Every structure is written in C-alpha cells, then in structure tokens.
Amino acid sequence: MIELSWPQVSARRLQRAGLLTAQGGGPEETVAAMCGAHAQVMSAAELSVGLRLNGFTRAHVREALWKERGLVKTHGPRGTVHLLPARDLPNWVNALSSIPVKPGPAYMRMTDEQTDQVVAAVRDALKGAELTMDELSEAVVAATGPWAGDLVMPAFQTYWPRWRQVMHLAAHRGAFVFGAGRGRKVTYTAAPDAPPATGGPAWLARSFLWAYGPATPAEFAQWAGGPVGWANAAFQGVELEEVRLAGRRAFVLAGDTAMPAEPPRGVRLLPYFDAYVVAGRPRELLYAGDAARRALAGGQAGNFPVLLVDGNVAGVWHQRRSGSRIDITVEPLRDLTRAQEEELQEQVLRVGQVLEGRPRLTIGPVTVGPHA
C-alpha cells in the first residue's frame, strides 16, 4: 500500500485547485476543478475564483454567471449557496437529490407529499419568470395551501413560512437557481437547459476525490452534507485505490497516485469559505498547531479568511473596503521571512486586482470574529 505524506498531498491539492500556479481556461473550468465555489458571501466567491485565474477580476466572474451563463448560483454541498458550472448542473442535481432528507422538528415538519407539492410549486412558479422571495412565497402558498405559509421556521429574529425549510431541497431537485437580482432583492428563476445527467453520487465522489483526495467516505459525507451510508454507496460506484495518508487509511481514484516531487511553497490569501480549506482534511494537518485555535470556529473551516504558507494555514486576515480603497490586515501565526513578506505583498496586490480596488497591507492582529 502506498504511503503518502501530508506535504505530498498538500502540494497536489494546491496544484489541482489552481493555487500553486494560476489556471488556464476560465471561471467555468476553475469552478469545476474546485467542486463548486462557496457563494454564501458573494464577494468571497468572486475572490476564490478570480485568484485562481490569470488577469481575472470579479467583473469576469460576474459576467460568467449573469451574462454568459457558464456558471449558476444555487444550493450545493451541505445545502449552502455555491457557484457551479452550468454544464454540470444535471449531474449535481442527480447526486445531491439522492441524499436522504433529515426530518425537521415535529412542530415544523412536512410530509413527503407536502414536500413534493412545494418543489413542484416552486418549479412551476419560476418557469419563464424571475421572482423575489416574497413573490415566490405567495405563489407557493397559493398553489399548495395555507399550511405552507404557516410561520413556524425560526430565522434571524423572525419566522419564515413552513415551506422554506425545503428551499435547498428544491434546488437539489433542480427546481430553481438564483436570478440576477432586482436591485438589492435576491431573485430566483428556472434552472437553465443543460445536457442530460450522466452521473449521480458516484460522479460527485469521483470529482471530489480528484480534487481533494486522498479521502474517506466519512470526509466526503461531511463535505457533501449526507450520511456516511450514502457516501459509502457513492464510493462503491467508483474504482478506488487504497492508500495511507500520514498513517491513516484513505482512498484515491484508481491509478491516481502520482504526487508532485516537491513540497508546496509559497504564500496565499484565501477568502471566507474557500473550497480548498472547507474540503481540506484531516483538519489537524491543514490547521496544525496554533492554526486550529485561531483559524477554526468550533472545528468549522472557512469562517475566517486564511493565510496559507507552504500549504498550511499559518494565519488569518480581514479586508475592509471604503470606496475603492481596501485595507487588508494579515495576522501571521509565525514570523515571515523577507521573501514571504514580499510574496504576501504580491498576494495583497492580486486581491486588489480581483476586487477592483486599491489595497493597503497592515501586518498585525485581526480583531474581527468569525463569520457566522
């Protein structure tokens, strides 16, 4: 059995993520290689994608999403909002819709029949339309019945109607994607036409393993937001090869055992919820030593933007924008060499280019807490 070291695996993941050298191609190919870009914070998604491409800015990412439609914004792994390649949306839908649904609390629960009615109502309401949440909610309640509008779902110091608890499930079933928006209001619209699905959970497991292997079914389950039994079944549909990572049993795609000859080198700034850190496991290797205490929020990755040094999390950072000026504060967890400080400055300039602003670097404590 092949024994792999953390530096080898780290270097390969960084290479495939476009974080050692910038990717060719465009946003669609980059997001596919990332297995989706987390877009709960849209500016962070734009930065995640832009940093992986030569000469790209947030404007290029927006154009790919809203004009060229090579990307879609929808609910992806763990039910969270992601950018996904439009061409792969049927495969994502096929995979994510197979994840067993966890029942909610009894007081807000919906039957399987009610869930199906809501998904169908969402799909029908958005055919040829782009609706705000209020407009969509009115259409869903009108199509299904008053029960769907019962205000039973706690959310942000208020209550949402019952039907909204299956919003991410409706997306996973292909009923909608996000629209371009109406002013400051979020909108939703029908999913774009795309080639028929060619894969399901096994396709998603294969994509994940190519980008973030070696991995275990349990790690895949945590990333996707499904139970381990579902992940085990997905792995069984893929030709695998067992390896050991730092003494632990894990899997890669069969024959995909080649690793870079050199350990990872370089300084990188990654934004909130970057795919590389969210998928990166084992956590204790990626977030070694003080990094776990400083850059993880209760074991959750992504809640802090992170400084990567030679493939490991080595600090946190924060950016504050005022007009075109972007003040970037970086808090390293250890002293940087002069060469690393110079590379950090280059990264700061690149962040400014992607976000179309004028960046200024301060090295010092970051006082902002984790993102919720």
CA 103/CA 353 separation, integer angstroms: 45
Q: Is pLDDT above 90 for 197? A: no
Amino acid identity of residue 44, one-letter, is: A
| Strand order from edge to edge, sheet including 306-309 | 267-270, 306-309, 312-322, 325-332, 358-363
Report the pLDDT value the prediction gives residue 78, as an integer from 0 to 100.
96
> How many residues are present in the chain?
372
Q: Is pLDDT above 90 for 112? A: yes
Percentage of the chain lying above the pLDDT 90 cut:
92
Q: Show the tokens assigned to 195.
A: 């080639």
Q: Is pLDDT above 90 for 254? A: yes
Strand partners, 240: 253
Say whether domain 267-363 belongs to CATH 3.40.630: yes
| Strand order from edge to edge, sheet including 2-4 | 2-4, 240-245, 248-253
Strand partners, 313: 308
Mean pLDDT across the stretch 12-37? 91
CB atoms within 10 A of CB 54: 9
How many CA atoms lie less than 13 Å away from 361 in the CB half-sphere? 17
Report the pLDDT value the prediction gives residue 352, as an integer from 0 to 100.
98
Residue ranges of domains in the chain: 267-363
Report the pLDDT value the prediction gives residue 48, as an integer from 0 to 100.
97
CA 72/CA 66 separation, integer angstroms: 8
Nearest CA-CA partner of 284 in 271, 274, 299: 299
Report the pLDDT value the prediction gives residue 372, as an integer from 0 to 100.
73
End-to-end CA distance of the chain: 41
Per-residue pLDDT of 301-343, as tens digits, reads: 999 999 999 999 999 999 999 999 999 999 999 999 999 999 9
Per-residue pLDDT of 211-231, as tens digits, reads: 999 999 999 999 999 999 999
Report the pLDDT value the prediction gives residue 1, as an integer from 0 to 100.
87
